[in-house]
Structure formats: C-alpha cells, structure tokens
A = this chain, B = another copy of it.
Amino acid sequence: MKPLFGKHSEFIVRSQSPFNGGPPPLRIIQSQITPNDLFFVRSHGDVPEVNVDKYRLEVTGKVTKHLSLSMDEIKNKFERVTVPATLQCAGNRREELIRLKPIPKELPWGTEAIGHAMWTGVRLRDVLAGSGVDGEAGIRLHVDFVGLDETERLGQGFNYGGSIPLSKAMKGDVILAYEMNGEELPPPHGFPLRVVVPGYIGARSVKWLTRITVQDDPSANYFQRKAYRFFSPQTNAENVKWDEGMMLGESNVTSVICSHQDGDQISAGIVTVQGYAMAGGERDVARVDVSHDGGKTWTQAELTDDAQRWSWQLWHVDLNLKAGNHQLVVRAVDSAANVQPKDIEDVWNFKGYMNNAWHRVNIVTKKK
C-alpha cells in the first residue's frame, strides 16, 4: 500500500515520490472549501519530517533586525489571522497541452491542481515589520523563501525556494500559515509553516518554510530562475534563453468544467453544468459563459458565491440539450476585462504552464 498522506481514497496520484496528486473533478465542485483530504499536493521533494521543538524560522537579508523564531514565538508574537485563498499550480491543465505536443519530465495534471482553503497564521507583513522592513522604502526589493524540502535538478541537490516582490509581501493577505481549514497544517502541505500568497501561482507559496530573506533580486533558486517561467509557443528546450521567459507571479483568468468528462453519455433534456473559475492577482471573476455547441452560442452561468478576492468561484448553469453530440465549453472574464484565449495552440509553451484556453468537454446526449 502506497502512502496517501491522509488523502481521500479517490485521490489521483500523479507521482509517488515526490508525492503529487489531486481530487477527481466531481469532488472539486462539492464545496466552496476544499476539505484537506481532497486538496491537491504539489511537491518537488519528499515530505520532510520536522521536529517542531527544534524548528526555527530565520528572517534575514536587508532587515534591521535578524529574527530566529520558534513556532511558539510565531503564534504568540503576531496577530492570528485567517485568509480564504485558492491555490493553483501553474501546471494545472498541462495534460491538454501535452495532447498537442509532448512536454517531457513535467507532471501531466488534469484539472485537479487547484483547491480553496481557509488559511490561518500570521501576516508576512507583521513578521517583516518586526524585522524592521519598511515596505514603502523597499519598493523594488524581493522576499526570498526557502523550504526544508530537498530536491534535485541538473545533477545538483538543493532546497526548494522562490520569491515574491516586497510590494506584494507587504499586503496584509500574504500569510505564514500554520493551520489549514482549522486543522494543524498537514505534513504534505508544509507542516509546521508555509507561505500562502493569494492570487499568485502555487509555486510561490513555499512549504516547510525555513528562511525568509529580503534582497535586491528575485530568488536565485532553480524554481524561480528556470522553472516557472513563461515562454512563447516558438521556444523549446533547444533554443531557450532562460532570461527571456517571464518569471511567473500572478495567475491568469481561468475556468473549468468539472461536472462532465470527455465521452460522457447522458440523457437529453435539462443538464446542469458545473465547475470552477478563478481570476489572478487582485482581480475578481466578473462573468462565466458556457456553450453547448463548441463556442457558437453562450449562456451566462450563475456564480455560487459573492465575489471574494483570492477565492475561486464555483459556477453552475442549466442547459436544455437535445439528443446528439455536444461540445461543452466554458470561458471566464475577470474584473480587468481579460478573457481566456480560445485555442490551446496559442498558449502552448514547452514547460506547460498557465494553460487558460477555453475548457472543452465532448459529451453525447441520448433520448430518454
């Protein structure tokens, strides 16, 4: 029996070591808050075993006061806050990109590398303020995170890491979390402490956090400098100039159908189509359109919840479908009027990130 790290028995395990997986699509739309046992896991090394009594968080770099904090100090010295935030892997929906053209050595995520939780911890801003950091003065600085998990790339072993701009770090919603949905942070989600950066790709929400460094440049870590960069469709592993790729930060607008899968055969008549939508950065989901004919005609979907910044929106719509073949399509618009691109060819990139093309599901409806 392989370890499931407390995950639901239906969990789709994409790799065992490091442990990576997520919930089946139908489970995703069951609730606004994703239960811990259904929350996707994206790790780059094995889950480290951490002795909480010996654990320290180091805060260093361009600070006036270096900090070395125990978990007790973190919990008692700073205000406890709870932030709802959706985390999504930049590789979510890579499977569709791979179908177009192979993407070797990367996980073939379906639509499951996303989840929404209530994160409890302390504001990164407060910890940085305790270290003497002045956000307004350091407008061009970066905050570098290093985790305790060990990984290997290009023949070298190192700890996972990444960074965000200080301007983002000083927003009150970036937190150092020690609880997830009211429970102690589970080991595969970063026990005892992780960063949660709402609106950004999951890769910046570094788990098993051990060191924070305020510095001039983005993280020098492989996963900031090479991986998690966004390249144009004409770039490949042979002609890549790494510096030309955009370091990913904020997520783009996306939406996915979870209620149906390619090849589903169902009864004609009223069909309820459901899924999730998400806007990145500080943008909200403004509208979700659903089509049953491959994008020729559209119906506006209902959003389940009031728009809440940094939270996905579950949506649903009833379509009256005649017997026959249908291509269901979903597309969302964010509050900056950014839309999703129609064709997957236009977003294909050789690392397989940020696929936010219209999501399409082919189904067959039959007379009752």
Residue of A251, A252, A339, A340 contacting most chain B CB atoms (<10 Å): A339
CB neighbours of A234 from chain B (8 A) = 297-298, 300
Q: How far is the CB of A118 from chain B (nearest CB, A)?
A: 19
CB neighbours of A346 from chain B (8 A) = 295, 339, 342
Specify the chain B residue showing the minimal Cβ separation from A295. B346
Q: Are B341 and A342 in contact (CB under 8 A)?
A: yes
Q: How far is the CB of A288 from chain B (nearest CB, A)?
A: 10
Taken together as a complex, chains A and B put the C-alpha atoms of A244 and B224 apart, in Å, by 40
Specify the chain B residue showing the minimal Cβ separation from A235. B300
Q: Which of A35-43, A53-61, A208-216, A279-287 contacts B (4 or more CB under 8 A)?
A: A279-287
> A250-B283, A283-B250, A283-B281 in contact; A233/B338 too (CB < 8 A)?
no
Taken together as a complex, chains A and B put the C-alpha atoms of A248 and B338 apart, in Å, by 11
A47 interfacial contact with B, CB 8 Å: no
Q: How far is the CB of A319 from chain B (nearest CB, A)?
A: 14
CB neighbours of A343 from chain B (8 A) = 342
Q: Mark A292-312, 1 if CB is under 8 A from B, else 0.
A: 000101101000000000000
A249 interfacial contact with B, CB 8 Å: yes
Specify the chain B residue showing the minimal Cβ separation from A280. B336
Identical subunits present: 2
Task: Please count how many residues in chain A sit with their CB below 8 Å of the partner chain's CB atoms.
Answer: 39
> A246-B287, A249-B335 in contact; A232/B298 too (CB < 8 A)?
yes
Q: Are A353 and B341 in contact (CB under 8 A)?
A: no
> A250-B335, A353-B337 in contact; A244/B342 too (CB < 8 A)?
no
Q: Are B336 and A251 in contact (CB under 8 A)?
A: yes
Which of B233, B253, B340 interacts with A298 by CB under 8 Å? B233
Specify the chain B residue showing the minimal Cβ separation from A246. B286
Q: Mark A212-253, 1 if CB is under 8 A from B, else 0.
A: 000000000000000000101110000000001010111111
Q: Are A232 and B289 in contact (CB under 8 A)?
A: yes
Specify the chain B residue showing the minimal Cβ separation from A289. B232
Residue of A297, A336, A356 contacting most chain B CB atoms (<10 Å): A336
- From residue 55 to 83 of chain A, which have CB atoms closer than 8 A to chain B? none
Taken together as a complex, chains A and B put the C-alpha atoms of A41 and B313 apart, in Å, by 38
Interchain residue pairs A-B with the least CB separation, the first 6:
A250-B336, A246-B286, A337-B354, A338-B338, A252-B337, A252-B338
- Other CB < 8 Å A-B pairs besides A232-B300, A246-B287, 15 of them? A230-B333, A232-B289, A232-B298, A234-B300, A249-B336, A250-B335, A252-B339, A280-B338, A281-B281, A281-B282, A281-B336, A282-B282, A338-B338, A339-B347, A339-B356
